[in-house]
Amino acid sequence: MRRLTRAQQSMYCRGLERALDTGYEILASGGKSLDAVSAAVVALEDDPLFNAGRGAVYTAAGTHELDASIMDGATLRAGAVAAVSRIRNPILAARAVMEKSPHVLLAGKGAEAFARKHGVAFASQRYFHTAARLESMKKGLKGHHGTVGAVALDRDGNLAAATSTGGYTGKLPGRVGDSPVIGAGTYADNASCAVSGTGWGEAFMRVALAHEVSARMRHRGESLVRASRAALQSLTRVKGDGGLIALDRRGHIAMPFNSEGMLRACVRAGGRRIVRIYR
């Protein structure tokens, strides 16, 4: 990621803290992990600083195409939407796919029709416009990417993960990255962990990064931290970069990355929090 000024770092950290508090309040009151990750991601989608929802980057055609997914670690149910352009909070559409259809992934106009039918809020294309994102596209900053995500563990021991993104600046219309692909950008299984990733999506899909963390824990008996680091290391095979946030049923947290920095935050029972950008 590009180096941020001190003022920018402060703004991003405040945005992370708002999302963190939104999810934590749900968990602290006995709520479900699914509700916590949904709410945290909605808060990030509503913040124009982040590349998801309102702050999504522009495609090469000057449009917005949004992707999101969510997964329930207790049941392995999952839902996702891809290449949608008018849904205000794509993560809520992804959850509707999970809870109100027999499918996992819906894309484009079909996903939007389904979301509208089930009461998911829409917004005008102007809603997604931000001057900074447009300037990045005009400067030709291809590959400038970002993703928002959340993982949570509730009082019942259930894990959940959610991820949302606008993709990367200047992407071809119709391009879909790892964020809505279960096992690549998002995965949750009570038997192992919950994972949400951010980075070059094509690389994440090639190594099935999120599922790789879970698989290493289940089949090799690795700890969350070791499995997360090893899975991230596998990106070197495809010259990928990025990072992930992961959580297991015992409350262990891992947030490794191989880029210069990664916006990340966590909060534990009792309210103790960590908010970081660089190493």
**Nearby residues of 124 by Cβ (< 8 Å), 6 or more positions away:** 86
Q: Would the pLDDT of 1 be above 80?
A: no
| Cα angle, residue 269 at apex, residues 232 and 226 outer, rounded to 5° | 20
Q: Which helix (H) or strand (E) holds 208?
A: none
Q: Would the pLDDT of 144 be above 60?
A: no
CA distances for 61 relative to 50, 172, 173, angstroms: 20, 8, 7
Residue 21 tokens read as: 């508090």
What is this structure's pTM? 0.96
Boundaries of every domain in the chain? 6-278
| Cα angle, residue 118 at apex, residues 115 and 123 outer, rounded to 5° | 50
User: 186: closest CA among 150, 208, 161?
Assistant: 161
How would you class 272 by CB atoms within 10 Å of its CB: exposed for 0-12, middle for 13-18, buried for 19 or more?
exposed
pLDDT, tens digit (0-9, with 9 covering 90-100), for 65-91: 999 999 999 999 999 999 999 999 999
CATH code of domain 6-278? 3.60.20.30
pLDDT, tens digit (0-9, with 9 covering 90-100), for 251-275: 999 999 998 899 999 999 888 999 9
How far apart (Å, rounded) are the C-alpha atoms in residues 262 and 244?
A: 9
How far apart (Å, rounded) are the C-alpha atoms in residues 246 and 187?
A: 9
pLDDT value for 97: 98
Q: Using DSSP bridges, classify how beta strands 261-267 and 186-188 pair: parallel, antiparallel or unpaired.
A: unpaired
Sign of CA dihedral 168, 173, 179, 185: negative
How far apart (Å, rounded) are the C-alpha atoms in residues 212 and 13?
A: 29
pLDDT value for 120: 98
In the annotation, is 75 catalytic? no
Residue 230 DSSP symbol: H
Q: Name the active-site residue from 5, 59, 75, 147.
A: 147
